[in-house]
Structure 1
Amino acid sequence: MTTSESAAPGTNEVLPAEQYVAGLARKRMAAGVLFRDKAGKVLLLEPSYKPNWEIPGGAVEADESPWATATRELAEELGWERPLGRLLVVDYVRPQDSRPEGVVFVFDGGVLDETDLVGMVFTDGEILSAGFHSLDEARNKVKPLLADRLAVALHAAEQGATALCEQGQRIA
């Protein structure tokens, strides 16, 4: 096969590269940032457009890396321009609620305190408030999948590791 040809999945048929690539699976991706305080509470944002709280982050756009997404979302949601820390979690999420399968990346934002939140202004109306919450409090504010992912991310931050997850459950 030449570099412009590939085998069709499950066959020996040779397809032009464009046709082969068009038939590959697509996965949605998202990226978020875990900020915590000295007591291990996590920073959660209260969105105006849905009932569940979130960590800073969002969907990866076309031709955008997950780390660029996390940086962009910090600027859009919080007006913060700060470097990301290391990757804490890679979580494979099965299809659910009419959403296709996906991969979620969580980066370390570091340790903050209440003074970092003083004077926050949410100009575009997307975010209503932000605050630190214990993992137990977070479980009452976020979706169960995110709560599980947060627990793994906190542990990964403490251990200096990167965790691989499936559906919010650590596999490695």
Structure 2
Amino acid sequence: MVKILAVSDSHGKKDILNELALRYANQVDHFVHCGDSELSSSDLIWGIMSTVMGNCDYDYQMNDEYRFQAADKNVLVVHGHRHSVRDSVAGLKREAQQANASLVFYGHTHIAKAEQEDGILFVNPGSISQPRGTLMEKTYCIVTLDGQSVTVTYYNDRHQEMVDLNKQFQIL
């Protein structure tokens, strides 16, 4: 079993990132930030979390994407602003197919969402600082990969589980 904590769009709110890193240090296998941290690429938090460059990040030492393997699955992390994610995940799907990724984390919309299309799971942790949409809760998520089963569990910034957002998927 592999657990990945995903957070996005913190927009300079470093305290919550430090809090997440301390709280989950021995509970998750990977920490990913989907961009728009507005922090320097030399910030110490990046020794714990892997991040990508968002449209509000101006430190050009950050990469546009991050790839890794988790539980024999290829994982892709992007911000999403270059993939028109406000409209659909079609641009992300093309990128995921090229990367042979079955799990994609993205941000940019500030809206917590998990959906599957053509066997690829797309997970947006929402925004930990500036939520948008109907929910208006600051969120992050933990994705648990257990064999072919994937559980996406959302939490608010007070670490309360957002049960109505949680979803379970099967991926190959």
TM over 0.5: no
Higher RCO (CA-CA < 8 Å; seq separation 6+) = 1
Q: 1 or 2, which has the higher helix percentage?
A: 1
Higher gyration radius (CA): 1
TM-score normalized with structure 2 length: 0.28
Report the TM-score, using the length of structure 1 for normalisation.
0.28
